Every structure is written in structure tokens, then in C-alpha cells.
Amino acid sequence: MESTQTVLTAAHCAKTIILASSHGSVILHQCTKRLIPVSIEFMAKMMEVSSDRLVPESASSAFGEIWKAFLGLFNSVGTSKRMFPFLSSAVLI
């Protein structure tokens, strides 16, 4: 029980740091650089596990919190910087 609560608490904390980093703090940018790969790994593992069995509600909620953090981070990027060079021609979104 405690470990599932820890996952949700960690996800809330990660979301807070990631969203706060969009306001220009150099320290929070450094934290976010370290949180993003781990958050992506967590989401990938959750997708893998959820296809095999039922996951605890707290883990599902943690997935949602990380998803919200990414949405907030992507929305904080200016439109002129939203480029996808891997497409045939750079496309602005």
C-alpha cells in the first residue's frame, strides 16, 4: 500500500517541478532534464503492464499526472519552437 502511495506522490512532485520549470528557473530546468527520461520510462512500463493485467488505481492516477505534466510542458513551448524536423519538411503546430 505504501509503495503505491509513493508512486502517486512522486508523480505529483514530478508534475509540479516540470510545470514550474516553464517559468524560467535554471535549477528547475536541470531537474526537469532528469525527470523527463524517467517519466517516459514510467509511462512506457505502465503501458506494457496495463496490457497484461489490471494496474492499481494509484499507478493509473500517477500515469495521468505525468501525462498532465507533459501536456503543460509542451503547451509552455512557444508556437515558433514547436517544430518536428523528423517530418519530411519542418511543420509548425
Which pTM was predicted?
A: 0.74
Distance between CA 48 and CA 64 in Å, rounded?
Answer: 15
- What is the band of 78 on the pLDDT scale with cuts at 50, 70, 90? confident
Q: Report pLDDT digits (tens) over 51-67.
A: 777 777 888 899 999 99
- In three-state form (DSSP H/G/I as H, E/B as E, the rest C), the secondary structure along the chain is CHHHHHHHHHHHHHHHHHHHHHHCCHHHHHHHHHHHHHHHHHHHHHHHHHHHCCCCHHHHHHHHHHHHHHHHHHHHCCHHHCECCCCCCCCEC
Write down the pLDDT at residue 17. 95
Structural domain boundaries of the chain?
Answer: 2-81
Q: What is the pLDDT of residues 39-53, one digit of tens each?
A: 999 999 888 887 777
Residue recorded with cell 509503495: 3
Task: Indicate the average pLDDT of the chain.
Answer: 82
